[in-house]
Copies of this chain bind each other. A is one copy, B any other.
Amino acid sequence: MAYPAAPLDERKARVLRAIVSHYVSSGEPVGSKTIAAEYDLGVSSATVRNDMSALEEAGYIYQPHTSAGRIPTDAGYRFFVNEFASDAKLPPSETRRIRSFFTEPRWELEDALRQTASLLSRFTDHAAVVFAPALERSVVRHIELVSLGGDRVMLVVVADTGRVENHIMVVPDALDPVQLERTAEMLNRVVVGTPLDSAAKRILDDVERFPLELRPTAERAARLLEEQLAHRESERMYLEGTSNIVDEEKFADLETVRGVIGALEHRRVLLELLADAISIDRVEVRIGSEIPVHEMQHCSVITAPYRAEGGPIGSLGIVGPTRMDYRRTMAAVWEVADSLGRMLARPS
């Protein structure tokens, strides 16, 4: 990711690293004396001051006011993440904690995903989102039509990823149970084994082979599937740990907090934030102004895809203040994504 091209000699880079580390844990603007005293750079505070001046010039840090210490800018965090965080690993004990969470048996996909979000949230102290396996990456396993009485029929689609989608549809003329069953049977013959995102097309292509009286129902089902994929807002997602956003220290004013929580409630915003995560095979970090959501200028978003055998099938991530422990959080997001993928691939 782009940051000011100004090359940093090694010491300046170390100073920047020290500033970010210290600010993240203390929350106070950090001064040259602190850096010189607590991080052994082998130079005096005056030298650090010169470096800091250069770092400010280059746009990595800034002073909230004349007589205060320095705070990293978004570019400063970005440099830190790019240069110092890619190798981050969790301590073994914590890795074990996450792994063991996924060995507990959990039979419902929805619960598993929600609990994953909850784990990630508690583990990182940030708000966490987990997306259900994407419909496009799912293969139809079974279709069922269930009469709910009257002219209402429920269309149930089971996918190999464990997702179950259901829609109520109204059939013009009440079909009798036998016809319903035959329709379902024929639908299954057409779509089982095909990816969900081409299922609708398959049905419509083959609908002519259906007996005339079954066609409207089949077509209706196809159209429902199409719609479902089109406006993807029905994409299932699990958001947990919103209360972490209300952490006294990191977001100063209520206005900001409210904006962030409000934004998180809009599924579309989350959808966009996590949209590409699935196709990028690593932990992705977006910092402050890199996020295209006005209310979230003080947030960072960390995402990762999770993968079953066949490749990435979904994504998850966290949302927190730009002032966060990137190394730890990135490692945690990666670890959880990895473990979730493993679990879905072969549930114990």
Contacts and interface: CB of A to CB of B under 8 A. Distances in A.
B162 A154 contact: yes
Nearest to A144: B144
Contact of A158 (B146, B169, B243, B255): B146
A273 to B, nearest CB: 17
Interface in A133-191: 141-142, 144, 146-149, 152, 154, 156, 158, 160, 162, 164, 166-170
B254 A248 contact: yes
A347 interface: yes
Interface string A251-270: 00011011001100100000
B146 A109 contact: no
B234 A109 contact: no
B168 A158 contact: no
Given A167-B107, A168-B107, A262-B243, A162 B141 contact: no
Contact of A167 (B108, B149, B154, B242): B108
A141 to B, nearest CB: 6
B246 A265 contact: no
Contacts of A265: 240-243
A234 B156 contact: no
A111 interface: yes
A244 to B, nearest CB: 9
Q: So how many copies of this chain end up in the complex?
A: 2
B242 A246 contact: no
Contacts of A281: none
Interface residues of A, number: 41
B156 A149 contact: no
A217 B212 CA distance: 38
A206 interface: no
A224 interface: yes
Contacts of A257: 246, 254
Contacts of A160: 148-149
A347 B152 contact: yes
Contact of A168 (B109, B148, B154, B169): B109
Interface string A68-99: 00000000000000000000000000000000
Contacts of A110: 234
A272 interface: no
A28 interface: no
Contact of A141 (B147, B224, B247, B261): B147
A144 B141 CA distance: 12
15 contacts: A107-B168, A108-B234, A142-B146, A144-B144, A144-B158, A148-B160, A149-B160, A158-B166, A162-B168, A164-B164, A168-B347, A242-B242, A243-B258, A246-B258, A248-B255
Interface of A: 107-111, 141-142, 144, 146-149, 152, 154, 156, 158, 160, 162, 164, 166-170, 224, 234, 240-243, 246-248, 254-255, 257-258, 261-262, 265, 347
